[in-house]
Structure 1
Amino acid sequence: MSYVESTEVFGAESSGTERRADVPAAFPRWLVWAVWAALAVPSYFIGMYALRYLFMGPEGVGALNSVYEMLNMTSFNDFVAEQLPKFKDHPTLLYFHAAGMGTALAIGAFQFVPAIRRRWFRVHQSIGVVYMAAALIGSLAGGIFAIVLPAEPGMAAVVAIVGVATTTFCFTAMGLLRLIQGDFSHHGEWMIRSFSQTLSGTTLRVMIIGMDYAGLPWHENYMIALWMCWVPNLVVAEIVIQYRRARRNGEPFFGPSPRALGTVQ
């Protein structure tokens, strides 16, 4: 794989010149796509499955029982029983949250496919408009939901849910603002941050399944999962952003840049 191909996969600009020794090396293309698929495929199905609430109403939460029973996770039944009354109390918030975040989770990963941006830019724009609208609406509804119907673990859980809702909303709003300003480089960075928070919907469910199979009482540790499903995502997003900046600017990923060193007397 050429340097130019690797750079395009990560969304960085390429000058076509030979890479310096201190510039971070590109990851193999197969690895990039493997990571993308590992995030995109489960996110797509989880997001699409969340849209069932639009057709089934609050009772759609009961459909989770059959899914988790197939995974031999019968302990999830108690959680479903606790959520159903809350969903019935505020169905409108449920619809907006499920429709918004479900849509954003299902389509968000496709915004980072270079071929779509290069060859079908109108498709990229259309997906982006839908994603931003869905993420803004879904995160706002989710944050209100957490305050109106607090999660069982208590205030720490409420803060965690409001936290991820706030970061998702603010990061998406910043991405939209940068797009309007024509600052496409920073627009891309804010959208990476936004999708990292949208992915909390995937990482939360993966953590719940992992806890159950590990024999951990995940229901009692739900608060831990609520924090761990989005804070590490944000850290990884910042690492990816710094990596892209280093490649774009021809600077080392770790340590000061050659330009910074040149200013030291």
Structure 2
Amino acid sequence: MTLHSTTHRAATARWVPFALVALGLLPVASGGLRLGEVFGGPQLMPANPRFEALPAPMIVHLVSVIPFALVGAFQFSSQVRGRWPAWHRWAGRVLVLLGMATAISGLWMTLGYPLQPGSGELLYIVRVLVGAGMAVSIARGLRAIRRGDVRHHLAWMTRSYALALGAGTQVITGAVRSALSGSGSLDFDLSMTAAWAMNLAVAEYVIRHGPGGGARGSRPVELRTEVGNPA
């Protein structure tokens, strides 16, 4: 690899966390407005009888997923990890808890609420799989870092973050569905599912072709001084 390409990749990588934050900005903003309503703020979002009847899982989900999406974006920055390793480790501990709360509350919402109006059984099944998949990914990422396996830790946490950021990509896939005049429940379910599928596809590409991926990263990286400290 030439010096020019290395420098270019490093410069591009600096913008990755900000791109991830931008992707999640709209759902984060709408979630913040919804939380504001619950705690006595003005009603700026459309009424949702499901949330009003059982607000607890929605509150837990929003309180956990918003910081997970915003702070978690910077955990993937090699510059942040290299310059502030202690911050990365302590933030990682908190983010593991927030990520688990996000996954479990997402399952709670799926299983505890009636079907979302305009959606069907397909989206219900996919949401169960996404919640379970996110929880499993975080658990495996935590297990990997406790063994000192940084490569697999990063891979599993990348997958969990990709699933958590599905709402950001759903803004895009939903706009495409609207432009194509898809109005049925199946169209809605497919557009929502496509967002998670796209995020996972990008995550898998980064895992395999990013720094440390593929054959070059086939051997676990051992941490000789920080084993047991979740990143």
Q: 1:219 to 1:209 in 2, by over 3 A?
A: farther
Preserved contact between residue 48 and residue 106 of structure 1 (Cα < 8 Å): no
**How large is the RMSD of aligned CA atoms in angstroms?**
3.0
Match of 1:51 among 32, 36, 47: 32
For residues 58-86 of structure 1, give each alpha carbon's deviation from its aligned partner in whole angstroms, at most 9, with x where no partner exists: 8889534xxxxxxxxxxxxxxx44xx110
What is the aligned partner in structure 1 of residue 19 from structure 2? 38
Among candidates 122, 126, 140, match of residue 90 of structure 2: 126
- The CA deviation at 1:121 is 0.8
Cα distance change on mapping 1:3 and 1:47 into 2, 3 Å: farther
Letter in 2 for 1:137: A
Shift of 1:27: 6.6
Residue 224 of structure 1 and its aligned partner are, at CA, apart by 1.2
Rounded Cα–Cα distance in structure 1 between residues aligned with 2:72 and 2:23: 12
Asked if residue 245 in structure 1 is aligned to residue 213 in structure 2, the reply is: yes
Of 222-231 and 41-50, deviating more is 41-50
| Deviates most, 126-135 or 47-56 | 47-56
Give the number of aligned pairs: 213
| Larger deviation, residues 146-155 vs 33-42 | 33-42
Residue 125 of structure 1 deviates from its aligned partner by 1.4
| CA deviation string 1:122-168 (max 9, x = no partner) | 11112212221111101111112112212232211111111211111
Q: What is aligned with 2:228?
A: none
Matched residue, 1:256:
none
Equivalent residue number for residue 114 of structure 1: 78
Report whether the alignment pairs 1:206 with 2:167.
Answer: no
d(CA) in 1 for partners of 2:170, 2:41: 19
Provide, for residues 23-70 of structure 1, a one-character-per-residue CA deviation record: whole Å limited to 9, x for no partner.
xxx974444445553323232563355234443218889534xxxxxx
Matching residue within 159, 163, 167 for 2:129: 163
Contact 1:44 1:105 in 2 (8 A): no
Distance 2:95 2:184 in 1: 31
1:174 aligns with 2:137: no
Cα shift readout 1:233-255 (whole Å, capped 9, x = no counterpart) = 212212221214236359xxxxx
Segments of structure 2 that go 5 or more residues without pairing to the other structure are 219-231
Counterpart in the other structure of 2:59: 95
Confirm or deny: 8 A CA contact 1:160 1:226 kept in the other structure: no
> What amino acid does structure 2 have at the position aligned with 1:245?
G
Runs of 4+ in 1 over 6 A off after TM superposition: 58-61
Higher Rg of the two aligned structures: 1
2:17, 2:74 within 8 Å by CA — same for their partners in 1? Answer: no
Give the Cα separation in 2 of the matches to 1:217 and 1:59. Answer: 36
Shift of 1:218: 5.5
Identity %: 23
* TM-score, reference length from structure 1: 0.69
Could you tell me whether the CA contact under 8 Å between 2:14 and 2:79 is conserved in 1? no
